[in-house]
Amino acid sequence: MARHFAYSEESTLNDSLRLADFIQSHSVSHIPVLFEPVLLSLNAMNLDSPVIVDATLGEGGHSRGMLRLLPNATLIGFDQDTEMIERARSRFIEDGFELAENPTIGKVCVVRSRFSEIAAYLTSQNLLADFLLVDLGVAMFHFDAAKRGFSFRDTSLDMRLDERLVMTAADVINSYTENELSRILFEYGEERMSRQIAKRIVSNRPINSADKLTDIVLSVLIRHRDRSSKRGFIKDSDAAKVFQAIRIEVNSELDQIKSLLADLPKILTQNGRAAFISFHSIEDRLVKHGFQNLLKSKFEVLTRKPILSDSTEIDLNLASRSAKLRVIQKSNFENEVV
């Protein structure tokens, strides 16, 4: 049986791969979360030239670290967002890595793809992954990109991570029934005021800007606060649960996660690992339950409890405080791994 991987201060990484040193020596606008535990889990596999799949490439923070750790790896980075792909390519070139059109040892192959398309791509290349990384966080770049509709103000309502998708946030807000809106706000945003917010949205249509949506949400929250014994300042970020729920609906995010989890037997090689980083309870429950289902298929969970950011990382990156890392391995139950 495999021993459960655990991140500890005794585990070793080259100083240049410690998070603090990495972000000082590399161009990083989105700090990779749980960077050291991810590298330690990969390093524990004792592979010289693995096939590494980064399913959420983003700006390539984790991938650049993994290539620094294992320069002979074949790295394939997937992302559905063309703007993020171009940013990642620029970062790889800045760091001296060579890009390739097809998966190549020691080079980076970047592919535009959603989770549900990854298994088919690997099959087309006759490849299986030794290590799969999935970081379910949304890069701050999206929240700063007003034209993409991810911020609370001064933007249209788009929220598509993949611009090939047809449905936008405006479509959801202006065409869903009150019951449908209430359901997604509650299920995907865990918003307790989902019914009241959905009712207010429907009565104020059309809604075509983030400003108007934010004001509607805050008006409901303020009314609830004033009717209760609670006091406190209501701010734009209090609309985050609503925006999260709509973003999840627009991008079919939960269905995509389920698809990727179900495809792990087709993606991973024998003894291959998959590492999932989640940021809210909805995602984490999906990953946890997906792992439990995989136990029936000769998989073994290597993290009894999720790995969390330590105080050092949180000091460097406050956004990491809610992150959880879970790791699973496709195993024959004969090899003992760290």
pLDDT tens track for 132-188: 999 998 654 444 455 555 666 667 899 999 999 999 999 999 999 999 999 999 999
Quick one: fold of 15-135+254-330? Answer: Rossmann fold (3.40.50)
CB distance 121 to 151 below 8 Å = no
Position 126 scores a pLDDT of: 98
Q: 141 or 243, which is more confident?
A: 243
pLDDT of amino acid 35: 94
pLDDT at 150: 62
13 pLDDT band (50/70/90 cuts)?
confident
Q: Is the pLDDT of residue 29 over 90?
A: no
Residue with structure tokens 């004033």? 226
Domain boundaries, the chain: 15-135+254-330, 146-251
Residue 184 in tokens: 């997604």
In this prediction, residues 35-41 reach a mean pLDDT of 95
For residue 212, what are its two tokens? 């108007």
Question: pLDDT value at position 154?
Answer: 62
| 44-58, 107-121, 232-246, 312-326: range with lowest mean pLDDT | 232-246
Is the pLDDT at 32 greater than 50, yes or no? Answer: yes
Residues comprising the chain, all counted: 338
Cα dist from 256 to 118, 292, 301, 315, whole Å = 11, 18, 21, 32
**pLDDT at 282 (0 to 100):** 94
Helix residue ranges per DSSP H, 55-109: 61-69, 82-94
Query: For the residues 116-122, what does the mean pLDDT come to?
Result: 98
d(CA 296, CA 291): 9
Q: How many CB atoms lie within 10 A of CB 283?
A: 20
Distances (CA, A) of 111 to 54, 192, 211, 334: 10, 39, 34, 34
Would you say 211 and 217 are in contact if contact means Cβ atoms under 8 Å apart?
no
CATH number of 146-251: 1.10.150.170
The DSSP call for residue 322 is: G
* Residue 336: predicted pLDDT: 39
Q: Give residue 3's pLDDT.
A: 42
- CB neighbour class for 288 (10 Å; exposed up to 12, middle 13-18, buried from 19): middle
103: exposed, middle or buried (Cβ count in 10 Å: 0-12, 13-18, 19+): buried
Give the contacts of 322 (CB within 8 A, at least 6 positions apart).
279, 280
pLDDT of residue 300 exceeding 90: yes
pLDDT per residue as tens digits for the range 247-274: 999 999 999 999 999 999 999 999 999 9
In this predicted structure, what is the pLDDT of residue 7? 46
> Model pTM?
0.89
Nearest to residue 42, comparing CAs of 113, 133, 111?
A: 133
Q: Which of 59, 63, 37 shows the shortest CA–CA distance to 50?
A: 63
Q: Are 7 and 37 in contact (CB under 8 A)?
A: yes
SS3 state of residue 117? helix
Domain 15-135+254-330 and domain 146-251, same fold? Reply is no
Model confidence pLDDT, tens digit, residues 192-223: 999 999 999 999 999 999 999 999 999 999 98
DSSP 17: G
Taken in order 163, 164, 166, 172, the sign of the CA dihedral is negative
Contact 98, 73 (CB under 8 A): no
67 pLDDT above the threshold of 90:
yes
pLDDT number for residue 6: 47
